[in-house]
């Protein structure tokens, strides 16, 4: 009996298949029963082994699900991982405890990095990674934990810490012969340089990362890095080269059906269109991208999309919509506790101009009221409003 209790007491386990014809069965227990089972498990002396087996199960689950985040069923895989958050937290707690296993924590952080990025668990992911790095790890796993720590620090706007962690990850990955982490660290270094307004310095690192991802056969990340490389070209003044590279990336992405990479390409192509004054094309791309953000629950990317949509709305003289969109974006970023992805930030002069024009048209008090209404929107309502199916006061419509 204790063996069965041990399989259940730490958290509810899941049997699931994701895909066409999905079926799922979950097993849970009432809290008093769980507490009783925990006590009996302690008495039996099996608690430590049970927690080890629990962590082993969920690190495998994270690793096996990681490839699913790169295909057309990305949103479904994200939802599955979301349902297991308490189990992952329990597994990390054991792995980082006195009798735990730091390599298990490093493997789990690496496997969950896409989930942490998209669903906005930046603060929690950073705590996990930094706690893991305080333990003894072989070079390869330390490099992977450093990458996760850097990634989450970057999203939170801590570019100095992110840059240092990626620098260390690059050295360790080369020592360990881990080309995948080497490519990831090079991408990270490029992102930090772009965030510091040094696009010319970012270009070599990003270009090399694209080549290394391709050498590893990781076409998904090669495409992501190619998008960042395009942004560096754009920021350095090579608009033609940037647009050509973005279009090439989008042509590869669309057949895969992957939402997150598609939305990123669309957001950035919209930025290029706005720079040329083609707000109609920008608006169409942004609405498509917002739909992807909504389906994935990606609040940070959505916030950047709303900022760009505010610029488009300003070009149409829609002052109240500008103020509402800006407030909604601020609210989403506030909920995430992060300034967002620097590579998705809209042109600050265009964004500031849109805000100033809307304030002048509405007056200060009306502008602030509209911004406050936007800031109070739920994620679902923000998506609906951005797509024109919610007038900021009606019930949300799922995109």
pLDDT at position 4 is: 43
**Token pair recorded at residue 171:** 């050295």
User: Do residues 76 and 30 lie in contact, with contact meaning Cβ atoms separated by under 8 Å?
Assistant: no
pLDDT at position 253 is: 77
3-state secondary structure of 280: helix
Name the residue among 173, 275, 171, 180 with its Cα closest to residue 219: 180
Q: pLDDT tens digit string along 4-35?
A: 444 444 444 434 444 443 445 555 656 666 66
Name the residue among 301, 240, 316 with its Cα closest to residue 272: 240
CA 235 to CA 257: how far, in whole Å? 28
Q: State phi, psi for 26 to the nearest 5 degrees.
A: -115, 145
User: Do residues 26 and 11 lie in contact, with contact meaning Cβ atoms separated by under 8 Å?
Assistant: no
First to last CA, the chain: 47
Q: State phi, psi for 72 to the nearest 5 degrees.
A: -70, -20
pLDDT at position 220 is: 86
pLDDT at position 2 is: 42
pLDDT at position 69 is: 84
CA 361 to CA 349: how far, in whole Å? 18
pLDDT at position 44 is: 67
Contact partners, residue 100, CB within 8 Å, separation at least 6: 55, 94
3-state secondary structure of 17: strand
Burial state string for 193-202 with b = 16 or more CB within 10 A and e = fewer than 16: bbbeeebebb
Computed over its alpha carbons, how large is the radius of gyration of the chain? 23
pLDDT at position 7 is: 47
pLDDT at position 211 is: 96
pLDDT at position 34 is: 60
User: Do residues 226 and 196 lie in contact, with contact meaning Cβ atoms separated by under 8 Å?
Assistant: no
pLDDT at position 65 is: 87
User: Do residues 60 and 54 lie in contact, with contact meaning Cβ atoms separated by under 8 Å?
Assistant: no
> Is 0.85 topped by the overall pTM?
no
Residues of the chain with pLDDT under 70: 1-38, 40-46, 389-399
Q: What is the DSSP string of 19-75?
A: STT-EEEE----HHHHHHHHHHHHHHT-HHHHHHHHHHHHHHHHHHHGGGGGSTTHH
């Amino acid at each position: 009996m204790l063996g069965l209790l041990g399989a259940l007491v730490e958290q509810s386990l899941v049997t699931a298949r994701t895909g066409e014809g999905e079926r799922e069965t979950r097993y849970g227990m009432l809290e008093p029963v769980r507490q009783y089972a925990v006590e009996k498990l302690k008495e039996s002396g099996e608690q430590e082994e049970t927690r080890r087996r629990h962590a082993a199960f969920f690190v495998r689950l994270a690793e096996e699900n990681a490839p699913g985040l790169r295909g057309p069923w990305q949103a479904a895989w994200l939802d599955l991982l979301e349902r297991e958050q308490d189990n992952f937290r329990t597994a990390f707690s054991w792995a980082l405890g006195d009798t735990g296993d730091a390599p298990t924590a490093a493997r789990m952080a690496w496997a969950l990095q896409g989930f942490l990025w998209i669903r906005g668990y930046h603060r929690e992911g950073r705590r996990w990674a930094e706690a893991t790095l305080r333990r003894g790890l072989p070079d390869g796993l330390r490099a992977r934990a450093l990458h996760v720590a850097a990634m989450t620090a970057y999203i939170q706007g801590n570019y100095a810490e992110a840059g240092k962690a990626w620098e260390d990850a690059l050295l360790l990955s080369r020592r360990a012969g881990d080309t995948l982490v080497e490519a990831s660290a090079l991408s990270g270094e490029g992102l930090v340089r772009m965030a510091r307004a040094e696009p010319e310095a970012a270009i070599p690192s990003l270009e090399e990362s694209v080549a290394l991802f391709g050498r590893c056969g990781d076409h998904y990340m090669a495409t992501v890095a190619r998008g960042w490389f395009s942004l560096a070209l754009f920021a350095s003044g090579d608009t033609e080269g940037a647009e050509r590279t973005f279009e090439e990336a989008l042509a590869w992405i669309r057949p895969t059906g992957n939402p997150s990479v598609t939305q990123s390409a669309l957001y950035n192509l919209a930025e290029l269109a706005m720079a040329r004054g083609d707000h109609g094309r920008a608006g169409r791309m942004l609405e498509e991208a917002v739909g992807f953000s909504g389906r994935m629950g990606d609040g940070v990317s959505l916030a950047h999309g709303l900022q760009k949509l505010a610029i488009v709305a300003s070009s149409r003289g829609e002052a109240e919509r500008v103020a509402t969109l800006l407030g909604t974006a601020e609210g989403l970023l506030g909920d995430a506790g992060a300034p967002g992805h620097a590579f998705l930030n809209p042109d600050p002069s265009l964004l500031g101009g849109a805000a100033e024009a809307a304030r002048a048209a509405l007056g200060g008090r009306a502008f602030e009221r509209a911004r406050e209404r936007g800031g109070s929107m739920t994620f679902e309502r923000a998506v609906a409003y951005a797509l024109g199916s919610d007038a900021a006061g009606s019930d949300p419509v799922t995109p």
